[in-house]
Amino acid sequence: MENTGKEVIRPNAVLLQSEDLYKYILETSVYPREPKPLKELRDATANHPLAFFGTLPDTGQFMAMLLKLVNAKKTIEVGVFTGYSLLLTALTIPDDGKITAIDVNRKSYEIGLPVIQKAGVEHKINFIESQALPILDQLLENKENEGSFDFAFVDADKDNYWNYHERLMKLCKVGGIIIYDNTLWGGTVVWPEESVPKPKRPQRLSTIKFNESMAADPRVDISLAPLGDGIKICRRIN
């Protein structure tokens, strides 16, 4: 039977419409297990005017689970900010694991760096201050990098997500995982355009197009999980 996409919407589609329920998840499942350095990094970021950029702790907890499930050792991060997702990755991968972390802004990385150093995981991180696209292209110039990464986390300029995807599909191994953050863009993907604040419209359109393109990409298994701001989890199939 043809899948019309018009099936009955089940009750769980509205479950997280309550802030109290989100608080419940954080207080009963996430915060009690959050490693101390991650809490320290959140505290160090709390007064930053862009503190809302930080990866949400429930998303982080799920990401750590996936990193462990695929035994990730070699990873890429696009979009570091003060380093919540970076530190989480560094704490999760083995001692000889390596993260290539790219961000245009080293200043924000330096806010979290003392916490990363204190946690004893800085040696796993190669931070590169740059636009991400040229660095991904540079990595691809070395054939040894092709299909060598176990895991990638993308949390930067939404307009480039598909460009990142094309490169990460070559850099990640078959069976490797790529996570794209903010793929529900604050829920605005289903709002009428005129209800969306003007500055948020371009990224909303990019996100809608990205989700459509991803659904049509036969190279990956996908899941759009409503964690945090929506994370698209891709597993490279071939």
Residues forming the site for ligand LAOBWLLU (CB under 6 A): 52-53, 155-157, 181-182, 229
Which among ligand SAM, ligand LAOBWLLU, none contacts residue 149 (Cβ within 5 to 8 A by kind)? none
Give the burial class of 237: count Cβ atoms within 10 A of its Cβ; 0-12 exposed, 13-18 middle, 19 or more buried.
exposed
Greatest Cα pair distance, the chain, in angstroms, is 57
Closest CB to ligand LAOBWLLU among residues 108, 182: 182
Judged by beta carbon, residue 150 or residue 229, the one nearer ligand LAOBWLLU is 229
Write the DSSP symbol of residue 55.
P
| CB 131, min distance to ligand SAM, A | 5
Task: Looking at residues 92 to 111 of the shown chain, list those that interact with ligand SAM (rule: CB under 6 A).
Answer: 102-105, 108
Q: Among residues 84 and 185, whose Cβ is nearest to ligand SAM?
A: 84
Among 90, 156, 172, 179, binds ligand SAM (CB under 6 A): 156
Phi-psi region of 5 (alpha: psi -120 to 50; beta: other; left: phi over 0): left
State which residue, 15 or 50, has the beta carbon closest to ligand SAM. Answer: 50
Taking the complex as a whole, how short is the minimal distance between the CB of residue 150 and ligand LAOBWLLU, in angstroms? 23
Q: Assess 217 for contact with ligand SAM (CB under 6 A).
A: no
Nearest to 190 by CA among 233, 224, 235, 153: 224
Round to whole Å and give the CA distance between 124 and 96: 7
Closest distance of CB 162 from ligand SAM, Å: 13
Cα separation, 224 vs 1, whole angstroms:
23
Residue 203: which residues within 8 A CB-CB, separation 6 or more?
158, 159, 182, 185
Closest separation in Å from C-beta 118 to ligand SAM: 17
Distance CA 130, CA 213 (A): 26
- Residue 1 Cβ, how far from ligand LAOBWLLU at the closest point, in Å? 38
Judged by CB under 6 A, does residue 119 bind ligand SAM?
Answer: no
Residue 104: name its binding partner from ligand LAOBWLLU, ligand SAM, none (Cβ under 5 to 8 Å by kind): ligand SAM
Distance CA(184)–CA(207), nearest Å, equals: 7
109 token code pair: 């990385």
Q: Which is nearer to ligand SAM, 37 or 54 (CB)?
A: 54
